């Protein structure tokens, strides 16, 4: 699930091709301005957004002993309509992340449960990662980044679909949509971390906050076995405050290390 250096290189190459072939369709853009140093796509739009939000982001991060460019981890909760950004304190010897900010998700489509097939309108649930080339500064939805659906778990289970994003413009068909001001902050936070050397940003997408009480309430759902597997990764981070390395077992379950 989490990429090895070789797999990460292959993923970046594939993501770059996706950006050129698919992410820009309908936008009138036929090129990407890539940073030679980092491989993080850029554009006048992304730079203008960063100029708008950087001062306030830097101040808010500094207030928590953090800095723009520190490693970032995202969590998404459908039921609560929340996207969390966690940032790693580089001075923390154990590499723990601390909650920096929570944004309200403007809209997501479908219902609780995973995405299964192209066109079902479902927003994905699971464990994803965003390498530099998955950032799209020319999005038709202001700014966006590709979650990387389907991942290895999704492919194992025959799930289909593509171009599943977190983006602006507050409209969704299978994506997680933010308002434009919110996606500017999130995009700038991720872009700074990637430019500073973070190889990819993990994004964990959950149906809800996976407390024992909420899981008990969901016990009769058709997705309870899937959600119990997701909860293992949820609990790992809740306990360790560092996201786990995620793989997929031969019998098609998420594994956490």
Q: Is 156 a catalytic residue?
A: no
Question: Are residues 3 and 12 in contact, defined by beta-carbon separation less than 8 angstroms?
Answer: no
Selecting among 19, 106, 175, 205, the annotated active-site residue is 175
Distance between CA atoms of residues 125 and 103, nearest Å: 18
Distance between CA atoms of residues 76 and 134, nearest Å: 18
Distance between CA atoms of residues 42 and 40, nearest Å: 6
Q: Is 175 a catalytic residue?
A: yes
Element spanning 202, H or E? strand 201-206
Selecting among 138, 142, 167, 204, the annotated active-site residue is 167
DSSP 43: -
What is the phi/psi pair of residue 138, to 5°?
Answer: -115, 20
Helix runs in the chain, H state only: 5-18, 44-63, 152-156, 180-195, 212-217, 224-240
Tokens of 129: 């990662």
Residue with tokens 């698919």: 22
Residues involved in catalysis: 167, 175
């Amino acid at each position: 699930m989490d990429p090895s250096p070789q797999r990460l290189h292959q993923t970046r190459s594939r993501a770059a091709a996706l950006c050129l072939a698919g992410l820009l369709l309908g936008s009138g853009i036929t090129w990407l301005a890539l940073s030679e140093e980092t491989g993080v796509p850029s554009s006048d739009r992304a730079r203008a957004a960063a100029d708008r939000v950087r001062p306030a982001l830097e101040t808010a991060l500094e207030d928590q002993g953090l800095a723009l460019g520190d490693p970032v981890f995202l969590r998404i909760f459908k039921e609560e309509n929340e996207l969390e950004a966690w940032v790693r304190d580089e001075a923390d010897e154990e590499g723990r992340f601390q909650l920096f900010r929570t944004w309200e998700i403007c809209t997501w489509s479908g219902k609780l449960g995973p995405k299964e097939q192209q066109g079902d309108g479902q927003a994905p649930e699971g464990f994803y990662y965003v390498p530099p080339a998955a950032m799209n500064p020319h999005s038709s939805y202001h700014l966006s980044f590709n979650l990387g659906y389907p991942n290895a778990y999704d492919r194992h289970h025959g799930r289909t679909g593509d171009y599943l994003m977190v983006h602006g413009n507050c409209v969704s068909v299978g994506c997680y949509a933010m308002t434009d001001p919110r996606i500017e902050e999130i995009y700038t936070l991720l872009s700074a971390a990637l430019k500073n050397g973070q190889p990819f940003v993990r994004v964990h997408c959950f149906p809800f906050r996976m407390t024992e009480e909420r899981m008990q309430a969901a016990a009769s759902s058709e997705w309870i076995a899937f959600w119990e597997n997701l909860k293992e990764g949820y609990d790992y981070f809740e306990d360790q405050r560092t996201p786990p390395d995620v793989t997929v077992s031969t019998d098609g379950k998420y594994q956490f290390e």
